[in-house]
Structure 1
Amino acid sequence: MISRRLFAQGVAGVMAAGTLAACSSEKAAAPAAAPTTSPGHTKFAALKQINAGPLNIGYAEDGPANGPVVFLLHGWPYSIHSYVDVAPILAAAGYRVIVPFLRGYGSTTFLSADTVRNGQQAATASDLIALMDALHVDKAVLGGYDWGSRTAGCVAAVWPERVKAAALVSGYLVTNLKAQQQPLTPVAERGWWYQYYFSTDRGVAGYRQNVHDFNKLIWQTASPDWKFSDATYDQSAEAFANADHVAVVIHNYRWRLGLAQGEAQYDAVEQKLQAAPPITVPTITIASDFDGAAMDGKAYRSKFTGKYDHRILKGIGHNVPQEDPQSFAKAVIDADKL
């Protein structure tokens, strides 16, 4: 993550270069509007584990078992606790809410020691499809920010039949590797310092040694006006103790820069994503102060060809669902109604 101003310049440069559930099988009544609730939850209703694809995935769940399903996806360097206040709002509105730890976070682990600790977008998108299959969810509403927004966007673009609607922070984040090779302005490049750091052996050692303080700095940089407490940060930071966290994060950023290979099993999905497919499902995109000059959403408007709305949250940083759970939950519900 980077500063609001630097991120905006980076997005503009990359976009100029090219690109930067329903329900389970049981029927449920249409959900009501989001109720008013005060933030401050520290626990989820339930924490569960399930084998899905190459992973044993840890996830939080809330809401009625027969409600329309919503998957909420976190980013880096965050955790499922970004949604600790969003989940009860959606549950109270009648949704079955599922919040998984991404690979390399929390209680999500690889089933085999031989599996590549791969962080490419096609892998995390395939993880979500595998989780939906394991939970017997045919179609769901998706919400996410950062890696979570990218993952949700990839799933919506490649498997639109599995997505009823989406709420995506920062818009269209599907990574185009060719566009990623195009240089930006020096000021914009400075904002990606951590990606270049992760490209070095020193950066890997530094992140591994200082992951707690490193990620706290990212939180402060990406959300400069959010006065989160040490307890709030430490609750999410527990997820970084995952034995595969560093490997997955490093692979993600090296893959984006063309410094690490993806896996052949994801080539078909990745080939589709490299074509920058439009997202055809009903979608609400959300911009915050973090998006800077890209806040108006014009740079990615053409990538959404279905029913669409764009919202701007001023005074909010990058971790939108934790900083403004009411607005994020409302965007999820409203996207489902488009």
Structure 2
Amino acid sequence: MTQSSAGAAPHRPFGELRQVDAGDLTIGYVDAGPPDGDVVILLHGWPYDIHSFAEVVPLLTAAGRRVLVPYLRGFGTTRLRAADTARNGQSAALAADTLAFMDALGVRQATLGGFDWGGRTADVIAALWPERCRGLVAVSGYLIAGQESGRKPLPPKAELSWWYQFYFATERGRQGYAANVRDFARLIWHTASPRWDFDDATFDRSAASFENPDHVDVVIHNYRWRLGLAEGEPRYADVERRLAANPPVTVPTISLEGDANGAPHLDPSTYAGRFTGAYEHRTVSGGVGHNLPQEAPRAFADAVLQVAATR
């Protein structure tokens, strides 16, 4: 394991950004709060980054938690360590990254919180490795799904909301995304959070993380894999088979949903039964969209602290 600190980028609210070798990656991450505090790991989504948790982190550290916020593969200063490693965005790979990150830092167990890709990753770990997960805060609830479910057609209105998934399935879409990453991300921010009045500085701070050399490849693979149009790695086949069975989440969980989420999401009643441990769902009001931790940091932090205290 190697671990170092890099100088803070302009407008970074977290202080120094650290770097650690973990599995296939060297991962850029925030490490805030008391070193001996109970650990919370926060996982961002696409097209967002660690700054989704900029206001959540100080709320948690003030409560005595050690908070770790890693850049996912393809974002920020996280890099694949070997040139020949697949630029893989499948669910099992992202979960393996997080477990390797925990191992590299000597974290046996943590409370996990996330949204979008990060919410799915946290769900996977909570379901398959509950011994590593003290509790779970999951925006949009149970997001575990295998390739088979991704192949099934949805009603037309639901398919319309996934337009970019189909766009990414084409070579035109890959080239279009590569040429317009920032404009694409801004469009998704507006449509997924139609009532979030973010400014240019807020967007630019996160958009800098998309300048990662693996970003486009990882994003395109993620969405093509979901549709069954790209192969996963054989080493994750057993994990994906287990996930295809929709395993229950047994750890204490709070699911959250913004009342103005413009991204595709299920009604909480459809997934409540997947959480078989202590469970509560909360709808966060006030025009809160898809990027819930950044739009409603107090509601997100309160959920993390409550679930972390559940025995």
Q: TM-score, normalised by structure 2?
A: 0.93
Structure 2: runs of 5 or more not aligned: 1-10
Aligned match of 1:328: 300
Total equivalences in the alignment? 298
Q: 1:156 aligns with which of 112, 126, 136?
A: 126
1:318 aligns with 2:299: no
Relative to structure 1, is the Cα distance of residues 293 and 181 closer, same or farther in structure 2, using a 3 angstrom cutoff? closer
Distance (whole Å) between structure 1 residues aligned to residue 66 and residue 176 of structure 2: 40
Q: Which residue of 2 aligns with 1:58?
A: 28
Aligned-partner SS, 1:298: helix
The separation in 2 between residues aligned to 1:119 and 1:309, in whole angstroms, is 30
Q: By how many angstroms is 1:244 displaced?
A: 0.3
Q: Which of residues 9, 13, 22 is equivalent to 1:43?
A: 13
Structure 2: how far apart are the matches of 1:119 and 1:98? Answer: 21
What are the within-5 Å matches in structure 2 for residues 227-246 of structure 1?
227-246=197-216
Q: Conserved in 2, the CA contact under 8 Å of 1:54 and 1:115?
A: yes
The residue identity in structure 1 corresponding to 2:200 is: D
Gap change, CA 1:294 and 1:104, over 3 Å in 2? closer
Q: By how many angstroms is 1:229 displaced? A: 0.3
Give the conservation status (yes or no) of the 8 Å contact 2:136–2:307. Answer: yes
Secondary structure of residue in 2 paired with 1:71: strand
Partners of 2:236 and 2:263 lie apart in 1 by 33
Equivalent residue for 1:256?
226
Gaps (5+ residues) in structure 1? 1-40
* 8 Å Cα contact 1:287/1:296 also seen in 2: no
Partner-residue secondary structure (3-state), 2:92: helix
> Does 2:164 correspond to 1:194?
yes
Corresponding position: 1:305 with 2:276? yes
Whether the 8 Å CA contact 1:170–1:291 is kept in 2: the answer is no
Letter in 1 for 2:271: Y
Runs of 4+ with >3 A deviation = 291-296
* Aligned match of 1:3: none
Task: Answer whether contact 1:295 1:312 (CA < 8 A) is retained.
Answer: no
Residues 193 and 262 in structure 2, CA contact (< 8 A), matched pair in contact too = no
Which residue of 173, 179, 185 corresponds with 2:143?
A: 173
- Aligned residue for 2:247? 277
Give the whole-Å Cα distance in 1 for the aligned partners of 2:18 and 2:38.
Answer: 19
Percent same amino acid at aligned positions?
A: 55
SS at match of 1:237: helix
Aligned-residue RMSD, C-alpha: 1.4
SS at match of 1:329: helix
Equivalent residue letter for 2:251: V
Question: Partner letter of residue 303 of structure 2?
Answer: A
Taking structure 1 as the reference length, what is the TM-score of the superposition?
Answer: 0.86
Query: How far off its partner does 1:290 sit?
Result: 1.2
The residue number in structure 2 matching 1:204 is: 174
Partner Cα separation in structure 2 for residue 303 and residue 295 of structure 1: 13
Cα separation, 1, equivalents of 2:263 and 2:52: 22
Contact 2:194 2:262 in 1 (8 A): no
Q: What amino acid is the match of 1:212?
A: R
Conserved in 1, the CA contact under 8 Å of 2:18 and 2:29? yes
The 1-side partners of 2:76 and 2:265 are apart by: 32
Structure 1 residues 321 and 135: CA distance shift in structure 2, 3 A: same
Rounded to whole Å, the distance in 1 between the matches of 2:304 and 2:252 is 11
If asked which structure has higher relative contact order (CA below 8 Å, sep 6+), I would say 1
Shift of 1:272: 1.1
Matched-pair contact (CA < 8 Å) for 1:102–1:124: yes
Query: 1:262 and 1:238, CA in 2 relative to 1: closer, same or farther beyond 3 A?
Result: same
Change (3 A) 1:115 1:187: same
1:45 is displaced (CA, Å) by 3.2
Deviation at 1:293, TM superposition (A): 10
Letter in 2 for 1:327: A
AA aligned to 2:249 is I
Letter in 2 for 1:303: R
Q: CA deviation at 1:46?
A: 2.8
Output the CA distance in 1 between the equivalents of 2:28 and 2:119.
19
What amino acid does structure 2 have at the position aligned with 1:302?
A: G
